[in-house]
Structure 1
């Protein structure tokens, strides 16, 4: 009997030791297991994906899944308690807040990077190098009668414009329509509405008369294939870049990018550590994938907000 107890004890000790890992400083800590589920904004996806890849190098036994069903689609899953974290390229809406309340989902909203919505054209387009925000409004407003380039400016070609943009589930759609039209969701509907921005890239690249919009990182990834339109908000045309987004001269198309974290999920050690890792590494990784990091003070404030949220303060 004593022999059996000793064997069981040794086996238990072996399992426990197998779950330990050696840190860079030589100390040991328990290796995390479990899972972290993320879904939402296609714009925030590259940042979350990059963070997940780096996190798995540190915690290889944690399963991290990152989806991109759009900000609206992500909030539906988050509000139903399906995901731990929701990526968002806009603020949460009233109906989404209500869904969270109905299902007892308490959350903390954290800013992880800054972005600029980029208006792009084909590289063969040599005329639309600049546009005003008023011209964008006339082009994209509900029931717009503009179908040809020369209806925007007389000197532009008498050719039909082919428009690409995010579908209504994307936060980029909500943000663009709000700042350009003055009302979220106010947009013409006769355009190529995409769920995957890579589809828009491919369509615009091959079509001299195409124009579309999406996040800065997708332009940065494809700048060898696409032309970019400088936007004039009354102070002269400004091109989107890390610098112009950071100093807010690329107004009004600059914005914040968020993750929403379930407070309940954050009580699990793997989710807590993932979010802490996210905020520690977002400055470097957001820049790597084409976004604009906040100043250090901004990330310090997010870390404090997360700490307070999960401690119940």
Structure 2
């Protein structure tokens, strides 16, 4: 009997060993009675599912509508190029309709972001209110509007605001360089200017022309490269545009120092623009963002955050001057608040 009992017990143990935990896993139950090996497997698959879910949630796609200033264009073009490396599923091309043209599209609800080389006007604010569009202004960088002449022009060493007025105003009277200053050649001046939809034109109109009528024989263009080529091709030409476009073409253009309010002839560069010594032609540049787009479109939120985080570096890479870091920090905080982050 003892022998048979022993054999029966051994037989039962063999059966239990073969069955394991009843599911063929052979694992060891944990304190909750769950199989630890199964728990590890389940945890691994759950982790993979979770990671896949995070990837799905983290994938940002769609488009960001951006238009506006040709002066701000080089900065935002650089932003879009770098942004797409991190967010390849997002399309963010930069339109160049000029500041005024960009605001028209912004007011019509056609864009999420409007690039501007001047502050928004009262009329544009009223139009946005009528359209029910709430927006936020973010300073993006600084520029120094650069007055340029042909590289063969060896007589213009500096210009005062009064001389610029005599050249550019309809009632200014100057048609040749000799009219501007005695001793300069009696050669007719060819004028090239940003178009009337340009924020650069608006700024020039305010601080140089003082809202008076610009002369009628000026060649106007929203394309700064057209202005560059106009001056390059004419020894007696003169124009003005953003500092970045001068830097890009400095081998073929001469830049003109402008006499500031302290009576000093100052050439625009990173230091004089940042310090404000290059006045009255130093100015901030902006992006205006549709608040609803910022709050409701993940791609717009990511783009704006990327722009604000990198604008200082990228603006200097393309020839402008970054704003103080505290300006960007405050802008980032504001953007997060609008987006509910």
Among 305, 308, 318, the alignment partner of 1:289 is: 318
Among 247, 256, 269, the alignment partner of 2:275 is: 247
SS at the partner of 1:48?
helix
> 2:255 aligns to what?
228
Deviation at 1:143, TM superposition (A): 3.3
Unpaired segments of 5 or more residues in structure 1?
A: 1-12, 22-28
> 2:81 aligns to what?
53
Among 152, 165, 170, the alignment partner of 1:137 is: 165
Unpaired segments of 5 or more residues in structure 2?
A: 1-47
* 8 Å contact from structure 1 (residues 38, 65) kept in 2: yes
Deviates more, 1:138-147 or 1:58-67: 138-147
* Whole-angstrom CA distance in 2 between matches of 1:308 and 1:270: 16
Task: Name the structure where strand makes up a greater proportion of residues.
Answer: 1
Find out whether 1:298 has 2:333 as its counterpart: no
* Whole-angstrom CA distance in 1 between matches of 2:163 and 2:291: 43
Find out whether 1:17 has 2:52 as its counterpart: yes
Moved over 4 A (4+): none
Among 8, 21, 31, the alignment partner of 2:59 is: 31
Deviation at 1:145, TM superposition (A): 2.0
**When the two structures are aligned, how many residues end up with a matched partner?**
292
Deviation at 1:69, TM superposition (A): 0.5
* 8 Å contact from structure 1 (residues 44, 87) kept in 2: yes
SS at the partner of 2:231?
helix
SS at the partner of 1:252?
coil
Deviation at 1:18, TM superposition (A): 8.9
> 1:110 aligns to what?
138
* Whole-angstrom CA distance in 1 between matches of 2:272 and 2:315: 16
Deviation at 1:19, TM superposition (A): 8.2
* 8 Å contact from structure 1 (residues 164, 213) kept in 2: yes
Find out whether 1:190 has 2:225 as its counterpart: no
* 8 Å contact from structure 1 (residues 110, 306) kept in 2: no
The Cα RMSD (Å) is: 1.9
> 1:100 aligns to what?
128
* 8 Å contact from structure 1 (residues 80, 99) kept in 2: no
Deviation at 1:288, TM superposition (A): 0.6
Task: Name the structure where helix makes up a greater proportion of residues.
Answer: 2
Among 300, 305, 308, the alignment partner of 1:271 is: 300
* Whole-angstrom CA distance in 2 between matches of 1:19 and 1:191: 57
* 8 Å contact from structure 2 (residues 294, 338) kept in 1: no
* Whole-angstrom CA distance in 1 between matches of 2:157 and 2:230: 19
In the superposition, the TM-score normalised over structure 2's length comes to: 0.82
* 8 Å contact from structure 1 (residues 107, 263) kept in 2: yes
Deviates more, 1:96-105 or 1:212-221: 96-105
Deviates more, 1:139-148 or 1:149-158: 139-148
> 1:170 aligns to what?
198
Q: Deviations over 1:55-105 (max 9, x none)?
A: 000000011121010000000000010000000000111221122112111
SS at the partner of 2:208?
helix
Q: Deviations over 1:204-229 (max 9, x none)?
A: 01211000000000001000110010
